[in-house]
Structure formats: structure tokens, C-alpha cells
């Protein structure tokens, strides 16, 4: 504090400001005045200079007849203490002193910008695993909190500035941190389902849970804003017999769980393999049965005539036996007479009918066998072989195929071949194929289409009579 001049009422004028580099709250006193020495430590001369930097607030605490009062001045501010340019001071120097100087008021500077760090350490306390609720495992927690003051009015309300002590404030915060850390960590195994001996592995979860609880309580109890909580160490006393017991229980349970899971995985693998094998066998069985059924249907189709002939022959044999019996039947009452004329006539009629049926059956059988042979031959030769120099697609039911400009063309009827010769598409050196041929052949080597190369007479002139054909 510096000498500024003399003011009304005598004495030295003061410069009220805070020159501390690191502080949360700092109390101003006139130059040369120690704590609790005389009443002059709170005496402020009229016309003194007040300087409040940006990011801090000056709090004037004074007494009136109706009780203690507080007035706050936020920075930046650099003025002389006069009610004209600082109306808030009218509450301080008004009727109580009648404008005389000095007047009594405590001035506190509160830092609103500084991030304050505070290290804390919580000694060993018991944490209980839900599986062994009567056996506490010792746990210690150490870390750092970072906080600042944002709501200075709430801070002033919660902390009596006349009696504020910076070290005592830190001790109070440390005590609160220890209380809330113990509360959160003790309940975390049951609340979050974390085994007590695995708290070290879940230090991030512990940090988040403590920060959520601690930030709320520091704001309510002390009026400070918790910016960060960093738990640097969460130490478990592994020499504790309770820790060893819980560890054996947890490790054994984990081993059994892993073994059981491995057994389940192996069983699932075997079941899956067995199911795949059964599905494969069933699929192959169905495919085999379908192939056999298709082969059987094809065979039955090819030999349907023979099967029908066997059935009809059996019917004819039964009819012939009946015919013989009818011819031998006697005419007397005892059945021992001569030939039965009625039976003989009936047998002859039935024999003629059976003969016609047999002839028709044989005829149908021959036609069916011929058709089967033709169908088999067509199935074998329905698709022409690959065109020389190119790959072709099968074209069933064709008559003649011709290679024109390297491409397969057709089918063409025999009557169309002369037209192909006239337009130059078919020459003696053109490859031709028809059903029944094993390979493509040149047209000159196929006598059956030689007629197509016989010169055709041109069209007759209009109006010229056409001569009759030469006999």
C-alpha cells in the first residue's frame, strides 16, 4: 500500500488494492497494520483510492445499526472513494458517520479467474465386496481437485468473511473431499457391480462417480465450482487377509466361469458340426432319391410299351383260360354231357376280340418303340456340333444350318437353299449341317443338296409366253 496524500479528517489516504499473485480470498489492511492489532486495521480514509482488477471483486463488510452489511464492487475499477462517483459507498459512509473519516469497513478481494488446485489424500478405509459383506478391504485414494469461484455472492454467504482463514478453508475442503470420496468408493461395488478387488482397474469409473458427487456438494457447502477431479492413485492393501480371501473367491469364480464358458463353446461347436453333418446327409439323400426317381421315370417312359404289353398279355391269358373253360362246359344237368355250343360260340367271339386287341396292342407297341428310338436319336443329335472356327448354341428342331460370314444361320428348309445360292450366302465351299450328321461338311460334299446349285432360269420377260416344259 502506498502513500497517496492527506484527506479530510487527517491521517494518510490509502490505496485499496490487492497485489497478491496467488490467492482465493485476500483481506486488505492499511499499511503497517497487522492482524487483530488495533481497530485501525479496518479504518478507511475518505478520498482513498480503490483499485479492482479485471477478474476480481472487492467486498466491503461493515456494520450498521440494523446489522452487518456487504457491498461488492467488480473490476475493473479505479476510483476515489466518493459517493458521487461510487454511489454504493453511500451505504458505508452515510448517516452512520456523517461523512467523517476514517470509517470502519473490512475489504476482501476475491479472485474469480484463478484455477485453484488442491491435493488431497484419503487414508485407508474399508470397502466391502457384496459377496462378503462382513469383510472390509482397506483402500486409500489420492488425487487433485481444481476449482474456482464463480458465484461470489454465494461464496460470501457460505463463508463468513470476517473470520475467513485461507488455510482453514483448505482444511475444510479437504475434510469434505475425504468424506465424499469414502462415501462413493465404499458404495461403488454394490452400486456399479464392480468387485472390490478390481477397483484399481476401474479407476476412471471411480473418478467420474466421485466427481459427480463432489462437485455438487462443494458448490452447496462452500460456494466453489469444481472444474476437475483427478484421482491419481487408488491403492488396495493386498496384504489384508480379507483381500486374499476375496481374491481367491473371485479368481476361482473367474476360472470356473471361463471353464464353463469353454465347455459351452465346445459343445456348441460339436452340436453345430453334427447338425451340419445331418443336414448334409439329408440333402445328399434327397438329391440321390430325386436322381433315382428321375432315372426310374425315364426308364418307365422308355419301356412303357413293354410294361403295357405285359399287363395286357396277362389279361389275354386270363381270357384264354376262361375261353377254354367255356368250351369244355357240358350241357347236361350233371355237367358231364358233350360240347356246349353256346359256350363255344361265346368263346369264338371273345377269341376274335382278343385277337384284335392283341394285334392292336402289338401295333401300338411297335409304334411306341419306334417313337422312343427316334426321340432318343433326336436327344442325342438335336444340337449341332460347334461351328468350325466359332462356338455355337444348340438349335433344336432344325433342318439345315449354314455358316454365313463365320456365323451359324438357320435352320432352313430344303426349298430355301436355292434362294441362299442366288444371294451368294451358300456356295459349294460353305459348311452345312443337318440332323443326323456327325460333323459339318462342305456343301460340295453333300449330294443331297446339289439341286440347289443347278442354274435356275431367269424370270420371263413381261408379256412373253412361257414355253411349256420339255417332256
**Tens-digit pLDDT profile for residues 366-389:** 665 666 566 655 655 545 555 554
Cβ atoms of 177 and 282 within 8 Å: the answer is no
pLDDT at 145 over 50: yes
pLDDT score for 393? 38
Q: What is the pLDDT of residues 265-293, one digit of tens each?
A: 888 988 999 899 899 889 989 988 988 88
Q: Exposure string (b/e) for 231-261, b if CB count within 10 Å is 16 or more?
A: beebebeeebebbeebbeebeeeeeeeeeee
470 exposure class (CB count in 10 Å sphere: 0-12, 13-18, 19+): exposed
Q: How far apart are CA 81 and CA 105, in angstroms?
A: 13
| Residue 121 phi, psi (nearest 5) | -145, 125
Entry pTM: 0.43
Q: What are 178-216's pLDDT values in tens digits?
A: 999 999 999 888 888 888 888 888 999 999 999 998 888
Determine the Cα–Cα distance for residues 14 and 109; give it in Å rounded to an integer.
16
- Is pLDDT above 70 for 105? yes
Residue 350 main-chain phi, psi, to 5 deg: -65, -35
pLDDT digits (tens, 9 = 90+) for 399-444: 788 898 888 888 888 878 888 888 888 898 899 988 888 899 898 8
Burial class (CB in 10 A: 0-12, 13-18, 19+), 132: middle
**Per-residue pLDDT for 8 more than 50?**
no
For the segment 128-138, what is each residue's pLDDT rounded down to a tens digit? 887 777 888 89
Position with higher pLDDT, 250 vs 226: 226
| DSSP output for 318-336 | HHHHHHHHHHH--SSSSS-
Kindly state the average pLDDT of the residues 314-325: 67
Cell triple for 456:
435356275
Amino acid at each position: 500500500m502506498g502513500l497517496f496524500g492527506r484527506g479530510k479528517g487527517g491521517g494518510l489516504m490509502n490505496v485499496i488494492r490487492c497485489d497478491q499473485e496467488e490467492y482465493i480470498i485476500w483481506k486488505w489492511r492499511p499499511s503497517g497494520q497487522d492482524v487483530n492489532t488495533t481497530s485501525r486495521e479496518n479504518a478507511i480514509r475518505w478520498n482513498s483510492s480503490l483499485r479492482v482488477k479485471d477478474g476480481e471483486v472487492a467486498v466491503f463488510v461493515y456494520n450498521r445499526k440494523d446489522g452487518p452489511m456487504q457491498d461488492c464492487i467488480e473490476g475493473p475499477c479505479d476510483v476515489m472513494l466518493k459517493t458521487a462517483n461510487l454511489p454504493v459507498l453511500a451505504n458505508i459512509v452515510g448517516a452512520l458517520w456523517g461523512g467523517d473519516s476514517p470509517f470502519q469497513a473490512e475489504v476482501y478481494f476475491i479472485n474469480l479467474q484463478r484455477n485453484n488446485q488442491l491435493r488431497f489424500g484419503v487414508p485407508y478405509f474399508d470397502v466391502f465386496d457384496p459377496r462378503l459383506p462382513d469383510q472390509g478391504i482397506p483402500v486409500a485414494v489420492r488425487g487433485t481437485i481444481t476449482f474456482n469461484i464463480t458465484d461470489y455472492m454465494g461464496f460470501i454467504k457460505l463463508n463468513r468473511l470476517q473470520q475467513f482463514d485461507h488455510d482453514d478453508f483448505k482444511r475444510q475442503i479437504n475434510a469434505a473431499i475425504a468424506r465424499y470420496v469414502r462415501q462413493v468408493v465404499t458404495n461403488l461395488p454394490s452400486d456399479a457391480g464392480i468387485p472390490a478387488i478390481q477397483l484399481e482397474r476401474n479407476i476412471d469409473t471411480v473418478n467420474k462417480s466421485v466427481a459427480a458427487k463432489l462437485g455438487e456438494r462443494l458448490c452447496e457447502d462452500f460456494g466453489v465450482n469444481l472444474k476437475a477431479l483427478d484421482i491419481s492413485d487408488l491403492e488396495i492393501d493386498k496384504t489384508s487377509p480379507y483381500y486374499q480371501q476375496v481374491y481367491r473367491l473371485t479368481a476361482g469364480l473367474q476360472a470356473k466361469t471361463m471353464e464353463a464358458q469353454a465347455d459351452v463353446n465346445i459343445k456348441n461347436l460339436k452340436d453345430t458340426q453334427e447338425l451340419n453333418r445331418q443336414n448334409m446327409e439329408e440333402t445328399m439323400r434327397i438329391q440321390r432319391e430325386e436322381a433315382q426317381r428321375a432315372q426310374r421315370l425315364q426308364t418307365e417312359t422308355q419301356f412303357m410299351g413293354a410294361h403295357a404289353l405285359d399287363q395286357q398279355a396277362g389279361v389275354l391269358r386270363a381270357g384264354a383260360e376262361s375261353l377254354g373253360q367255356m368250351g369244355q362246359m357240358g350241357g347236361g344237368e350233371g355237367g358231364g354231357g358233350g360240347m356246349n355250343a353256346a359256350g363255344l360260340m361265346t368263346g369264338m367271339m371273345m377269341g376274335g376280340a382278343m385277337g384284335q386287341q392283341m394285334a392292336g396292342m402289338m401295333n401300338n407297341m411297335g409304334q411306341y418303340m419306334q417313337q422312343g428310338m427316334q426321340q432318343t436319336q433326336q436327344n442325342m443329335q438335336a444340337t449341332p456340333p460347334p461351328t468350325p472356327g466359332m462356338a455355337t448354341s444348340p438349335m433344336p428342331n432344325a433342318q439345315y444350318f449354314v455358316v454365313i460370314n463365320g456365323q451359324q444361320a438357320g435352320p432352313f428348309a430344303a426349298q430355301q437353299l436355292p434362294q441362299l445360292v442366288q444371294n451368294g450366302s451358300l456356295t459349294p465351299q460353305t459348311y452345312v449341317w443337318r440332323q443326323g450328321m456327325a460333323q459339318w461338311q462342305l456343301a460340295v460334299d453333300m449330294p443331297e443338296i446339289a439341286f440347289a446349285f443347278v442354274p435356275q432360269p431367269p424370270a420371263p420377260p413381261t408379256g412373253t409366253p412361257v414355253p411349256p416344259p420339255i417332256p
